[in-house]
Amino acid sequence: MRLAQSLGMHRSASRHTTLTPVERESRRRTWWVLYFFDRFSASKLGQPITVRDDDIDVEMPSMDGLTKDEMAEFLDPQNLITNIKLAKIIGNILTHIYGIPKATNGLYIQQVHGILKQLREWHDELQPDMRVKERGTPRPVASLHLAYNQCIIQTTRPVLLHLFKTQFQLGNKAREDALPRQNFSSITLALAESCVNAAQASSRIVEGLFLDGSIATFGYWDAHHIFSAAMILIMSAVMKPTAVNSDHLETLLSVLRSLKNDGNIPAVDFCERLSDIQARVLNLRATGRLDGMSFDRPPMITHTPSSLPKEVPQAQDQAFQTPMSMDNGSGICESAIIGYENVDILGNPLIGSFLDGNQVQWLDVLFTEDGTLREFASEIEEPFLFR
């Protein structure tokens, strides 16, 4: 990125440039690909973005000014533009949710409102060929939607953690003034549910990639998405165990174990972390610390997951694995996906009303005071607040 900036690739070309139309378009596309990977990598590694959007005025990729022969040298720019728009939202998440707090940033809920609204608009504008299918989803489309789900997870994850901490009174010391269950607003519960729904949606995509043989066996990003989604489903499973969450979590752990066995180095580390979390949860359950109150949630968008080879042994003490499907004798669990192509993570009517409203209110005052965002501002145990 720094080299590209030093070449001025982030700036619009001068009218007096000597570049040919093909060279100009190649320059634009090179910049925007670098831009996407900068935002994408920063969101996974807990780093700040390299360049602000306000400092960029280079045009989006297009076919304008190209002859038919010149157009043949380039792919349709629409797919790249879709990725660029999502990358801009990723940058907003890093800056406004996980950046250094400023007085001008406003309340966390205001930032959540703005980012989720951007994500909903981005999703609504997707072309049919850029949407996930039950089977045979192109690998680039699957990667795009894994990134989209991750954006929702990163935006709403502090809300879920807040409920988790409150339910089990976790932290340096239990809060005597913690809000009772009935005082949590419906929008709080709906936002937490959106986080879980996004993790479930990632599980479905990972499952499809695994069955189609298109998962990145030695890659980092797929393993990271699996780990991130599994963490959310673990919290949800501990708070309120359900068959749906159990199946999704089993899917993710099975694929992650398969990647580990195939030699995926990040998967080895992620498996160790999840095993450590599992041991800690078992210890908390044994000491009675997980016998907290339960929160009612808005209705969930559920599905019955399709099959995966059972890579993870089903030990009796594995707290996060409760498979609900029946083995057909071949090591494959038979079940069907319900509404796979029509799952809308932000489709809860409460979320819709929240995003459509101009007056943003947050009733759970303690959320901004209990340090939840700071304590959970790390995804892979590295600082996510840029201090």
- The one-digit pLDDT tens for each residue of the chain (387 residues) are 889 999 899 998 877 678 888 999 999 999 999 999 999 999 988 888 989 999 999 999 999 888 889 889 999 899 999 999 999 999 999 988 888 776 545 577 788 889 999 999 999 999 999 998 877 889 999 999 999 999 999 999 999 988 888 877 655 454 455 444 446 788 888 999 999 999 999 999 999 999 989 999 999 999 999 999 999 999 999 888 899 999 999 999 999 999 999 999 999 999 999 999 988 888 877 877 666 444 444 344 344 444 444 443 333 334 333 333 323 333 323 333 333 454 688 888 888 888 887 655 554 444 544 444 444 444 433 433 333
Query: How far apart are alpha carbons 190 and 298 in whole angstroms?
Result: 6
The two three-digit tokens of residue 43, written as one number: 């969101």
| 46 neighbors 384 (Cβ within 8 angstroms) | yes
**Beta-strand runs (E) in the chain:** none
Q: Which amino acid is at 168?
A: F
pLDDT at 171: 53
333 bridge partner residues: 327
pLDDT of residue 108: 75
d(CA 358, CA 351): 13
Q: Where are the chain's structural domains? A: 1-106, 110-387
Handedness of CA 93, 168, 257, 310 (dihedral sign): negative
At 361 the pLDDT is: 57
* Residue 358 tokens, joined: 């101009």
Q: Give the global pTM.
A: 0.79
Q: Helix, strand, coil: what percent of the chain each, to 5?
A: 55, 0, 45
- C-alpha closest to that of 150 among 191, 197, 118, 207: 197
* Structural Rg of the chain based on CA atoms: 22
Residue with tokens 């809860």: 348
Half-sphere exposure of 205 (CA within 13 A, CB side): 29
**C-alpha span between 179 and 166 (Å, rounded):** 8
Beta bridge partners of 327: 333
Place of tokens 């990358």: 87
Residues 6+ apart with CB under 8 A from 115: 89, 92, 93, 96, 97, 151, 155
Say if CB 33 and CB 26 are below 8 A apart: no
Tokens of 167: 């339910």
Task: Give the rounded distance of the alpha carbon of 236 from its chain centre.
Answer: 15
- Per-position DSSP letters for 240-279, written without gaps between them: S--HHHHHHHHHHHHHHHHHHHTT-HHHHHHHHHHHHHHH
* Helix-helix angle 221-239:139-168, to 10 degrees: 30
pLDDT of residue 74: 92
Q: Is the dihedral of CA 362, 363, 368, 374 positive or negative?
A: negative
The pLDDT assigned to 358 comes to 61
189 in Cβ contact with 109 (< 8 Å): no
The Cα–Cα gap between 209 and 366 comes to 40
Give, in degrees to the nearest 5, the angle at Cα 190 between 304 and 173: 110
Q: What are the distances in angstroms from CA 45 to CA 3, 57, 152, 154, 221?
A: 21, 26, 17, 13, 11
